[in-house]
Amino acid sequence: MKYHILGILLSLALLTGCKKDETCDFPDAAITVPPAQITELQNYLTSKGITDAVQSPYNFFYRITAPGSGTSVSNLCTIVVASYVGLLKDDSVFDRTAPGATIRAQLGQFIVGWQKGLPLISKGGKITLYIPPALGYGSVAKTDGAGNVVIPANSMLVFDVEVVDYQ
């Protein structure tokens, strides 16, 4: 009987201690995008002949190619399983998931452009995000393991993202 009660108490502690809201603590980013970066994005879209991109209230642009269905993001602690291609504005690929592979992380672990953009689609959705530097990596250059610059500072980023699942 003593072990039965201990088991119930332990189960309750585990169930109440593992709520998503309690196991992660990501602040909601409130970043202001400078007008020059918005203009740069608009000029990029115009130069590429992209006329159907929507400007979000957070000042990135996006195009939903498939809205998806089912599960969607509930908060920054939501686990995202996705495949993607990341490009610079000169169309060079700086990162991508391998064919058939995915990444898996809490939404709050991604750049702000993803945090604000991925909730626009559901599981199975596809979106292209046009992200200004302020919602990407800002004034910090990203390097690879050998110290080579992969993403220059103040880079506008383009991501084609497919959300495989939200958990």
Tens of pLDDT along 83-121? 999 999 999 999 999 999 999 999 999 999 999 999 999
Q: Which residues of 97-134 are buried (b: 16+ CB within 10 A; e: fewer)?
A: beeeeeeeebbbebbbbbbbbbbbbbbbbbbbbbbbbb
Alpha helical stretches, state H, the chain? 2-17, 20-23, 35-47, 112-117
Over residues 1-27, the mean pLDDT reads: 44
In this predicted model, which residue has the larger pLDDT, 72 or 134?
134
In this predicted model, which residue has the larger pLDDT, 72 or 28?
72
Tell me which residue of 102, 103, 109 sits closest to 77, measured CA to CA.
109
Over residues 127-145, the mean pLDDT reads: 96
pLDDT for res 76: 94
Over residues 29-36, the mean pLDDT reads: 90
Q: Is the pLDDT of residue 5 over 70?
A: no
Length of the chain counted residue by residue: 167
CB 41 within 8 A of CB 62: no
Q: Looking at beta carbons, which pairs linking 142-147 to residues 24 or more positions away fall under 8 Å?
A: 142/94
Place of tokens 């991508």: 96
Per domain, the residue ranges of the chain are 28-166
> For 28-166, CATH number?
3.10.50.40
